[in-house]
């Protein structure tokens, strides 16, 4: 079967108001438990209904956690040494570092973006794309610049790279076509 035939695309939404779920509380308290569940799921093919349901739910819960700034819940399923790479334009403008390591680094990144855009940044996902060892979330991000007060909505995408079921890298894009190319999906 071709690689494109293994790619699964699903629409995605998040709830505006959410709280930690029981499984998130358990996984935060016992991180090895989440890894023990994620490794077997990662070995399933992208078209597996079990994988689709688990991945979609995990991505939804992580985005809801991000929207309420619950970074410990966001980090469920992240490898301890994972790297977060902000969009190239923010790095080239000197506003952000080229990469942030681990959950503490990711927290620093979120704090840095809050200085520029305030705490109002909210990720509204549109679609989840599972390409096996990579996953993309296409979203829109309404935001307001702190200094000017200008409101804008940006196309936004995150590409997650997995190893042994854990996220080892997250790359941020402000262009859907670039993110799709990064997971091997024609634009």
Q: How many C-beta atoms surround the C-beta of residue 95 within 10 A?
A: 14
**How many domains in the chain?**
1
pLDDT band for position 2 (50/70/90)? very low
Residue 7 lies in a domain: no
Residue 137 lies in a domain: yes
Q: What mean pLDDT comes out for the span 54-61?
A: 96
Q: What mean pLDDT comes out for the span 45-61?
A: 95
- The percent of residues above 90 in pLDDT, for the chain, comes to 73
Residue 9 lies in a domain: no
Helix (H, G, I), strand (E, B), or coil: what is residue 1?
coil
Kindly list the distances between the CA atom of residue 48 and the CA atoms of 6, 102, 115, 123, 132, in Å, as whole numbers in the listed order: 10, 30, 41, 27, 11
Residue 39 lies in a domain: yes
Q: Which residue has the tokens 């804008």?
A: 152
Residue 187 lies in a domain: no
pLDDT on residue 70: 95
90-100: per-residue pLDDT in tens?
899 888 899 99
In eight-state DSSP terms, residue 187 is -
Q: Tell me, what CATH number does 113's domain have?
A: 3.10.450.50
Q: What mean pLDDT comes out for the span 102-130?
A: 86
Residue 66 lies in a domain: yes
pLDDT band for position 117 (50/70/90)? low
Mean of per-residue pLDDT scores for the chain: 90
Strand ranges, E, within 61-114: 78-85, 100-101
Residue 36 lies in a domain: yes
Task: Quote the domain boundaries for residue 151.
Answer: 17-182
pLDDT on residue 120: 66
Q: Residue 5 pLDDT more than 80?
A: no
pLDDT on residue 149: 66
User: pTM of the entire structure?
Assistant: 0.90
Residue 29 lies in a domain: yes
């Amino acid at each position: 079967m071709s690689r494109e035939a293994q790619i699964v695309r699903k629409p995605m939404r998040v709830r505006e108001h959410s709280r930690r779920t029981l499984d998130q509380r358990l996984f935060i308290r016992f991180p090895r438990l989440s890894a023990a569940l994620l490794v077997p799921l990662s070995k399933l093919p992208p078209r597996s209904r079990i994988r689709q349901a688990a991945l979609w739910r995990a991505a939804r819960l992580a985005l809801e956690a991000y929207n309420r700034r619950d970074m410990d819940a966001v980090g469920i399923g992240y490898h301890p040494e994972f790297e977060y790479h902000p969009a190239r334009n923010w790095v080239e403008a000197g506003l952000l570092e080229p990469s942030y390591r681990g959950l503490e680094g990711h927290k620093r990144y979120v704090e840095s973006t809050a200085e520029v855009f305030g705490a109002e940044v909210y990720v509204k996902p549109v679609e989840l794309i599972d390409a096996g060892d990579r996953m993309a979330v296409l979203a829109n991000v309404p935001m307001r610049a702190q200094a000017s007060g200008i409101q804008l909505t940006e196309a936004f995408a995150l590409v997650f790279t997995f190893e042994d079921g854990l996220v080892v890298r997250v790359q941020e894009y402000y262009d859907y076509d670039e993110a799709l190319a990064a997971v091997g999906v024609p634009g």
